[in-house]
């Protein structure tokens, strides 16, 4: 009886701590969402206040005047192409690493592992110069090539880990039936590897969608910018002429795809981290 009372007091205390902390985590997002509907005048008043009415003009301004629509399109195209190409080349690499055991594939595996020791940021300056030399500076193609490489080692790592555990019985049966290597790789093993492919696609999509430093360094033309870079640029412009509403709207626009994917795929994301220590 006494224990029960103590237990419920602890539970109440815990709830208070957890709820207060949750507010600290969630409120900034709510604040940015409701602030994105404020008029410029309302921004001068108490920052905690809700907007008097939903001022949707901010979203029009963000999409059209501040070119967020354009950045959005760039981001979508760059992200999707990078994720798909990376998937193709990392899947085939992982297949060969796990299915052939020779000096070359062992060396290959070690080479990709070295990525986790080397800081990519060290190569930023030479990469910038390389892109200039190749004529890929300030081009979306150049950024795509970089983005593919950014997510490549992680993809190879996760896929080899998963595919090493897939039984080869099916493959051997397929060989008996005269199926080619390519057929086996894409028709037999690919469906079995689907869970890990879905996981890395989610992580890769969010990683590239949110990528900033390469986008900021390799692109100068406004029309070619990605969303995060465009948003920072918009913020910099706000220092001189203040359309805070458009800025808040821009933040909400960039958050929506990530939050949607997160809410839909939550289990997949958190179980990926819990099991493999996947680093975003």
**Interaction of residue 25 with other proteins, rule CB under 8 A:** yes
Sign, CA dihedral 265-271-274-277, equals negative
Q: Is 178 in the site for other proteins (CB under 8 A)?
A: no
Which residue lies nearer to other proteins by CB, 77 or 213?
A: 213
**Binding status of residue 11 toward other proteins by CB under 8 A:** yes
Find the shortest distance in angstroms from Cβ 20 to other proteins.
11
Under rule CB under 8 A, residue 220 binds other proteins: no
Q: Site for other proteins (CB under 8 A): which residue of 9, 16, 21, 194?
A: 21
User: How deeply is 237 buried, as exposed, middle or buried, from its count of CB atoms within 10 A (0-12, 13-18, 19+)?
Assistant: middle
Out of 39, 40, 57, 96, the residue judged to bind other proteins by CB under 8 A: 96
Check binding of 26 to other proteins (CB under 8 A).
Answer: yes
Binding mask 238-277 for other proteins (x = CB under 8 A): ------x---x--x--xx--xx-xx---x--xx--xxx-x
Count, residues near other proteins per rule CB under 8 A: 90
As a whole number of angstroms, the distance between CA 62 and CA 249 comes to 6
Residue closer to other proteins, measured from CB, 69 or 276: 276
Nearer of residues 223 and 259 to other proteins, judged by Cβ: 259
Q: Compute, in degrees rounded to 10, the torsion defined by CA atoms 275, 277, 278, 280.
A: 140
In terms of CB distance, is 184 or 224 closer to other proteins?
Answer: 184
Contact 233, 227 (CB under 8 A): no
10 touching other proteins, by CB under 8 A: yes
The answer to the question of residue 14 lying near other proteins (CB under 8 A) is yes
Alpha helices in the chain, H assignment, sequence order:
2-35, 40-44, 57-60, 68-99, 103-113, 124-133, 140-163, 169-176, 181-183, 190-192, 194-209, 213-218, 227-238, 244-276
**Residues 101 to 160: which contact other proteins by CB under 8 A?**
104-105, 108, 111-112, 114-115, 117-130, 132, 145-146, 148-149, 152-153, 156
Residue in 33, 35, 29, 39 with CA at minimum distance from that of residue 48: 35
Q: Would you call 210 helix, strand, or coil by DSSP?
A: coil
């Amino acid at each position: 009886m006494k224990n029960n009372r103590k237990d419920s007091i602890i539970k109440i205390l815990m709830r208070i701590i957890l709820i207060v902390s949750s507010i600290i985590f969630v409120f900034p997002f709510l604040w940015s969402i409701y602030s994105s509907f404020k008029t410029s005048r309302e921004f001068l008043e108490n920052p905690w206040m809700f907007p008097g009415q939903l001022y949707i003009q901010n979203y029009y301004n963000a999409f059209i005047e501040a070119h967020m629509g354009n950045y959005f399109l760039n981001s979508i195209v760059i992200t999707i192409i990078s994720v798909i190409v990376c998937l193709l080349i990392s899947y085939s690499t992982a297949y060969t690493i796990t299915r052939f055991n020779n000096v070359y594939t062992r060396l290959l595996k070690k080479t990709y592992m070295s990525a986790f020791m080397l800081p990519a940021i060290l190569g930023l300056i030479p990469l910038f110069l390389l892109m200039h030399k190749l004529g890929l500076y300030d081009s979306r193609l150049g950024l795509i090539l970089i983005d593919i490489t950014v997510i490549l080692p992680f993809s190879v790592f996760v896929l080899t880990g998963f595919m090493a555990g897939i039984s080869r019985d099916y493959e051997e049966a397929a060989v008996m039936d005269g199926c080619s290597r390519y057929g086996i790789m894409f028709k037999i093993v690919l469906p079995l590897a689907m869970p890990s492919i879905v996981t890395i696609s989610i992580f890769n999509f969010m990683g590239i969608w949110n990528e900033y430093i390469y986008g900021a360094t390799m692109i100068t033309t406004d029309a070619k910018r990605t969303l995060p870079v465009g948003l920072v640029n918009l913020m910099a412009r706000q220092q001189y002429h203040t359309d805070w509403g458009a800025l808040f709207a821009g933040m909400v626009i960039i958050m929506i795809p990530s939050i949607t994917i997160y809410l839909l795929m939550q289990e997949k994301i958190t179980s990926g981290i819990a099991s493999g220590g996947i680093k975003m």
